[in-house]
Amino acid sequence: MDTLRLILDLCIILIGLYLILFKSYFSEKGKNLATKEDISGITSKIEIIKTNIQSSNLKQQDWFFESKKAVLDYYDNYVLWANDSMKQSIIVINNSTQPDIIRKTIDELNHQHSKVTNSLWRIFLYESDNEFTERIKTIYEETSVLHKLYIGFYLDIEGVAVKFNKFNQFAEKGVLLKQLHKDLKTERSSLLNKFFKERDSIKVDTLELTEKTMQIIRKKLKEKYPAVNSV
């Protein structure tokens, strides 16, 4: 904004210098006094310059606010994806024989993943700070490893839940399938143990990744958008 004001002032000064240095032109029209037509023409040119500068300033403001919105939208979507969606593993474990509930959880997690991915690309569109975007991208990729683990686990448990449902249908008809029921419980237990082992082997968790993301974005907001004091 200050730069544009300086440009406008400079243009006005240059026009003033033009009037001083070329008095001979105006003397022909009345003893060094510009005619009304001359003044009108100069005023018109100044107004055109003002209009162009204001238009440019508005475009820069639009880009500025869209850029800030892209950063904030990404943070909101990331937090929801990394923390809320993935923490629904408790729901899946507690409803490991309910395929409908598990499927709903899978769909919600994939939806959040899609939203945060789109938000990330918007940051790349507006933000030219490569160091900032690469740090955000790195954390996104680390979280994606967890996302893949959770989705794989949910899909496996969903498969077992479907089998349990079929078993219950047979049981209602009086068919004795004790061995099948035992096998399904063993399979479910094995999947749970595998999931916990793989999850614990990953050195970072969603809370840690979210904290990193918050610190990076907070720093960027303070540097680029001084009016924003916190996320």
What the block records as the tokens of 210 is 């979210």
pTM of the model: 0.60
Tell me, yes or no, whether 153 lies in a domain. Answer: yes
Q: Domain range holding 216?
A: 67-224
Residue 145 CA: distances (Å) to CA of 74, 96, 102, 148, 192: 18, 23, 20, 5, 18
Tell me, yes or no, whether 50 lies in a domain. Answer: no
- pLDDT of 96 > 70? The answer is yes
**Each residue of 138-188: pLDDT tens digit?**
999 888 888 888 898 888 888 888 887 777 666 555 555 666 666 777 777
**Each residue of 34-68: pLDDT tens digit?**
555 555 555 565 566 556 555 555 556 667 788 88
Tell me, yes or no, whether 1 lies in a domain. Answer: no
Cβ atoms of residues 102 and 95 within 8 Å: yes
**Each residue of 24-38: pLDDT tens digit?**
555 555 544 455 555
Number of folded domains that form the chain: 1
